[in-house]
Amino acid sequence: MLAKLTVKNQLTLPKAVAKNFKGVEYFDVSTDGSSITLRPLQRSRADEVREYLAQLGITEQDVKDAIAWARSTE
């Protein structure tokens, strides 16, 4: 299989390869100088929590306020 490097230095993976990594948005890229290695990065639990909070409409400021309130009641 071939992967094409675009003029913007973007690499297009063949569908046959990409289909094995459904849900993966990011890859860790490394090189030894003569080859490139891509390792899929799975979403962290923290990313899942952030997405869920966003769906609930809870902002970063809401979290800061909740922490400040909890600390003030100690």
62: β partners: none
Low-confidence ranges of the chain (pLDDT < 70): 74
Q: What is the pLDDT of residue 58?
A: 95
Q: What is the pLDDT of residue 46?
A: 87
Q: Is the pTM of this model over 0.85?
A: no
Q: What is the pLDDT of residue 74?
A: 65
Torsions phi, psi for 28 (to 5 deg): -80, 130
The CA distance from 31 to 60, in Å, is 37
Question: Does residue 43 come out as left (phi exceeding 0), alpha (psi in the -120 to 50 range) or beta?
Answer: beta
